[in-house]
Amino acid sequence: MICELKDPSKAAPVFEGWADLDTGVIACLENVMGRIYANDPQHPRSALAVIGDFAFCAGEPDLELLRAKPDRWLLVVPQNEAWAALIEENFPAGKRIRYALKKDTVFDREKLEALSGSLPEGYSFRRIDGEVYELCLKDELFEDCVAVFGSKEAYLELGRGIAVMKERKLASAASSYYRSRGRIDIEIGTVREERHRGLGAAVAAKLILACLDEGLCPTWDAANKLSVRLAEKLGYVFSREYVCFSME
């Protein structure tokens, strides 16, 4: 019987051995954000961690568990080839490639400070406070920077983010897509007309420095190779490609 775990930490053994375990899974296991579904409430053999637009399936491949996922669009990340085969054989899912960056990055603070100090004239940094949160939420480009937290109050408590402003308008932003106790996973966006000016690198560097000062680990997961190149510019190290599936 598929159930939502009241104690998500019971699924921790199911996710053991997953290379570069995503911050979102950790957030679910720590019961900070997200939900975990499993095939047994006490001793799960299979589990599905759902957070934001992602679902991570681990343990013994279980078709019933996949069919019990929330009824909305998700990017489903399989732990291994057996899970991937189960998805491909039973669902009309679109296959994608994403790119994992190593989670134990040792950053060069001087390099980050140089990048964060490179804003062009007329642009300024601003912490994502309540007012900027509302600006992000109303803009499709920046919505994912704040929306997964579910409310302004939750974001202001748990989220971390910095925006680049130009004449009181959002030009770029870097923020926590989701948050575990000790990590954030960075989401970044830049207005199309403002690209190729170094805003994304500058605001991401500013956020990484703020996280390091707070004792948070800022992680990065890339949807495309352009994102990988930006991450590497900031000091991240590429880990591996992985498969995920677009599922309704």
Q: Residues 43, 25: contact at Cβ < 8 Å?
A: no
Q: What percent of the chain has pLDDT over 70?
A: 100
- Domain range annotation of the chain: 3-91, 109-240
Three-class SS of 7-29: CHHHHHHHHCCCCCCCHHHHHHH
State the Cα torsion 225-58-149-214 to the nearest 10°. Answer: -70
Q: What is the pLDDT of residues 150-189, one digit of tens each?
A: 999 999 999 999 999 999 999 999 999 999 999 999 999 9
**109-240 homologous superfamily:** Gcn5-related N-acetyltransferase (GNAT) (3.40.630.30)
For residue 4, what are its two tokens?
A: 């939502």
- What is the pTM (predicted TM-score) of this model? 0.95
* CA dist., res. 50 & res. 76, Å (int): 9
What pLDDT shows up at residue 129?
A: 98
For residue 144, what are its two tokens?
A: 């994912």
What pLDDT shows up at residue 141?
A: 97
The HSE-up count of residue 69 (CA atoms within 13 Å, CB side) is: 27
Class of domain 3-91: alpha beta
* CA dist., res. 4 & res. 39, Å (int): 9
For residue 23, what are its two tokens?
A: 């911050």
What pLDDT shows up at residue 93?
A: 87
Q: Residues 143, 177: contact at Cβ < 8 Å?
A: no
What pLDDT shows up at residue 20?
A: 87
* CA dist., res. 33 & res. 240, Å (int): 26
Q: Which residues of the chain have pLDDT under 70?
A: none
The whole-chain average pLDDT of the chain stands at: 97
What pLDDT shows up at residue 158?
A: 97
What pLDDT shows up at residue 91?
A: 94
Same fold, 3-91 and 109-240: yes
* CA dist., res. 143 & res. 189, Å (int): 9
* CA dist., res. 235 & res. 31, Å (int): 30
